Chain A
Amino acid sequence: MSHVITTEGLTKTYGSRTVVDGLDLRVPEGCVYGFLGPNGSGKSTTMKMLLSLVRPTRGEISVLGRPVDHRTRHELSPHIGSLIEAPPGYGHLTGRENMAVVQRMLGSSDRQVARAVEIVRLGEHMDKRVRDYSLGMKQRLGIATALARDPRLLVLDEPTNGLDPAGIEEIRELLVSLADRGITVMVSSHLLDEVDRMASVLGVLGRGRLIFQGTREELFDRSVPDLLVDTPEPERALDLGLPAVRGPGGLRLSGFDDAATADLVRQLVHHEVPVHGVRRVRQSLEEVFMDLTGREGLS
């Protein structure tokens, strides 16, 4: 699988404070890569390093097959659309004039700009001043500026920040459709639910370190959900000294993988504890993360 972004030991320190610590990112081509982590975990700094807006203290970055540094920024930037921290925009200008500024800076064609505006469905608001835009409209304008160059890669930092549920859904559909067109999308969020439904690959950052990277399925595989044993006689099972607590329908046990589950069932049957059913708790992505991060959570 070819990767649009790879980093090796990417590190950024400010004074004695390490903000990003030894990241080895692998962002596959054509995917939506969800970059998750709580506020202050180093997501924005990492994205700024990918865009050459911030210089790494240590480590290597390769984007679209080219090393990233201040010399290659001008070669790479026509292919990378970005939205970092908050949408840009000149408040005294209309949406159309803002796009004209971007068009002249990027050397984009009228067609590229019109297409970008059409994709974010901002057409009817283009003659309104940006200072009068809602946050959602500003976000969409920001994404339109990122798209105005026909990018191969989009780096979007919290693009759904401050949006209402309908706006979040709209951005989600937009990003998935862009990935369907072959654009690789790296999108950060501190809210798991937002990313869960659009990202096919996830990177989880905690205190500047990459806690997990892989597909959603691999993430679930990494975590062992609790086991629920349906039995009408949980007391007898507890008397056997099992590390269990009372749960819905009987017992709840943590940390039992498939082999341990088979042993458990064998033990219960051997001691003639009636077993009506054994199942795993359905986990949300958030619970998986909680599991991964030692119940500290992400936000």
Chain B
Amino acid sequence: MILAELVKLRRSALWLVALVLPVLTVTAGALNYAGNRSMLSSGWAPFWSQVVLFYGLLFLSMGVAVLASAAWRMEHRGHNWNLLMSTPIRPAAIVGAKIAALALVVAFMQLVLLVLVAVVGRLVLGLEGMPPWEQAAVAGLAVVAATPVIAVQSLLSMSIRSFAAPVALGLLGCVAGAGVLLGGGGGVLSHLVPQALVSSALFLGNTAVADSASLDPGAVGTIVAAAGALTAAVWALSAVLLARREMR
């Protein structure tokens, strides 16, 4: 089923979203960094912190919401549900393949982000050397941390035909996630709200964000475990709901 999903991604508008979002993010981060050089120390870490600040709180999760709505719109349009549900593929595989395909696009988006950070940092901001490996590790971890958001947005977009409604609900999730993190809630709650988990992952080792954990095996392991558990729970719920769905 995952192979079928990969074919559907060809010439899909999802790739455009995955390209444009990092461009906007790095542009905003670079402008922020350049405009506040007097207040920020020079180097890759302060630049990275400016890039991931809004990306971690809002852009990545909202990007996922848009990607999920676009991915399920393919099925809502043109009676493709009838086709999907009259194949031998089980509901869990249908939902799982969609989550995996979306994770692939998010991974591509993270790769674009890393490349853009390196290019803009060197060529535009004149930073020396290359970005530290920790930034690549955090960007990769963010893909794992984003899977619960992918699963939740996938569930919403699967259940609601509207493109905008799941995105709006995703925005509410971001507000809740930011509230948990910035309100100092932290702890368990920051690992239970999917959007907060994305922020926690992207802010690892980031000195510009208060209360962010350091990039150590314990913090990484907790995020991976939370992401796995949340994704599995939402995936299972999606499969049950899809199995009960009536094609009216």
* Contact across chains for A145 and B90 when beta carbons are under 8 A apart: no
Residues in A whose Cβ lies below 8 Å from that of B1: 104-105
Least distance between A110 CB and chain B CB atoms (Å): 14
Docked complex: B1-17 residues within 8 A CB-CB of A? 1, 3-4, 7-8, 10-13
Question: Which residues in chain A, 97-115, are within 8 Å of chain B measured between CB atoms?
Answer: 97, 100-102, 104-107
**A97 near B79 (CB under 8 angstroms)?**
no
Query: A84 and B87: CB pair below 8 A?
Result: no
Contact residue among B10, B80, B87, B89 (Cβ-Cβ distance under 8 Å from A89): B80
Q: Which of A90, A97, A102, A107 has the most CB of B within 10 A?
A: A90
Q: Which of A46-96 contact B (CB under 8 A)?
A: 48, 51, 53-55, 70, 74-75, 77-78, 80, 82, 84-93
In whole angstroms, what is the CA distance A80 to B83 when docked?
A: 11
B86 at interface, CB cutoff 8 A: yes
**One of A82, A91, A104, A105 near B82 (C-beta < 8 A):** A82
B87 touches A53 (CB 8 A): no
- Interchain Cβ contacts within 8 Å, total number: 80
Q: Which residues of A contact B243 (CB under 8 A)?
A: 70
Highest count of chain B CB atoms <10 Å: which of A55, A74, A78, A105: A105
List chain A residues, Cβ under 8 A from B77. Answer: 91
Given A74-B88, A92-B12, A106-B88, the answer on whether A54 and B246 have CB atoms closer than 8 Å is yes
Q: Mark B51-64, 1 if CB is under 8 A from A, else 0.
A: 00000000000000
Q: Is the CB of A145 within 8 A of B83?
A: yes
Cα–Cα distance between A107 and B87 once the two chains are bound (Å):
10
Beyond A74-B90, A82-B86, A88-B79, is A54–B247 a contact (Cβ under 8 Å)?
yes
On whether the beta carbons of B246 and A101 are closer than 8 Å, the reply is no
Closest residue to A106 on the B side, CB-wise?
B87
Q: Are A105 and B8 in contact (CB under 8 A)?
A: no
- Chain A residue nearest to B2 (CB atoms) is A104
B29 CB, min distance to chain A CBs, angstroms: 32
Known: A51-B86, A53-B247, A105-B87. A100 touches B79 (CB 8 A): no
B7 touches A84 (CB 8 A): no
Please give, as numbers and ranges, the residues of chain B lying within 8 Å of A90 by CB-CB distance.
Answer: 8, 74, 78, 80
Write the B220-248 contact mask toward A (1 if CB under 8 angstroms, else 0).
Answer: 00000000000000000000000100111
Q: Is the CB of A86 within 8 A of B79?
A: yes
- Nearest neighbor of A84 in chain B, beta-carbon distance: B82
Query: With A91-B77, A92-B12 given, is the CB distance from A104 to B86 under 8 Å?
Result: no
Q: Does B85 belong to the interface (CB within 8 Å)? A: yes
A53 near B85 with CB under 8 A, answer yes
Taken together as a complex, chains A and B put the C-alpha atoms of A145 and B86 apart, in Å, by: 11
Cβ contact within 8 Å between B11 and A93: yes
CB distance from A14 to the nearest CB of B (A): 8
Q: How far is A4 from B121 in the complex, measured between Cα atoms in Å?
A: 68
Q: Nearest Cβ in chain A — how far from B30, in angstroms? A: 33
Measured between beta carbons, the chain B residues less than 8 angstroms from A75 are 88
Shortest distance in angstroms between A135's beta carbon and chain B's nearest beta carbon?
12
Q: Which residues of B contact A88 (CB under 8 A)?
A: 78-80, 82-83
With the chains together, A136 CA to B82 CA distance in Å? 19
Contact A53 B8, beta carbon cutoff 8 Å: no
Q: Give which listed residue, B10, B89, B248, contacts A105 with CB less than 8 A.
A: B89
Task: Indicate if the CB atoms of A93 and B8 lie closer than 8 Å.
Answer: yes
Q: Which residue in B7, B12, B85 is a CB contact (below 8 Å) of A101? A: B7
Report the bound CA distance from A255 to B83 in whole Å: 48
Q: Contacts of A87 on B, CB cut-off 8 Å?
A: 78-79
Bound form: Cα–Cα A293–B64 in Å: 55
Residues of B contacting A80 in the complex (Cβ-Cβ under 8 angstroms): 86
Chain B residues with CB under 8 A of A78: 88
What's the least CB distance linking A47 to chain B, in Å?
Answer: 10
A179 to B1, CA, bound (A): 31
Chain B residue at minimal CB-CB distance from A107: B88
C-alpha gap A85/B88 in the complex (Å): 20
Flag if B8 contacts A77 (CB, 8 Å). no
**B97 CB to nearest chain A CB (Å):** 9
**Of the residues B3, B90, B247, B248, contact of A104 by C-beta under 8 Å:** B3
The answer to whether A102 and B83 touch across the interface, beta carbons within 8 angstroms, is yes
CA–CA, A78 and B86, complex, Å: 9
* B4 and A77 contacting across the interface, CB-CB below 8 Å: no
Q: With the chains together, A69 CA to B247 CA distance in Å? A: 14
CB distance from B186 to the nearest CB of A (A): 43
Q: How far is it, in angstroms, between the C-alpha of A104 and the C-alpha of B86 when the chains are bound?
A: 14
Query: For residue A130, which residue of chain B has the nearest CB?
Result: B78
What chain A residues lie within 8 Å of B80 (beta carbons)?
Answer: 88-90
12 cross-chain CB contacts under 8 A = A53-B85, A54-B248, A70-B243, A74-B89, A82-B86, A84-B82, A85-B82, A88-B78, A93-B8, A101-B4, A104-B1, A105-B89
Known: A86-B78, A102-B83. 7 other contacts (CB 8 A): A48-B247, A53-B86, A74-B90, A84-B86, A90-B80, A91-B78, A104-B3
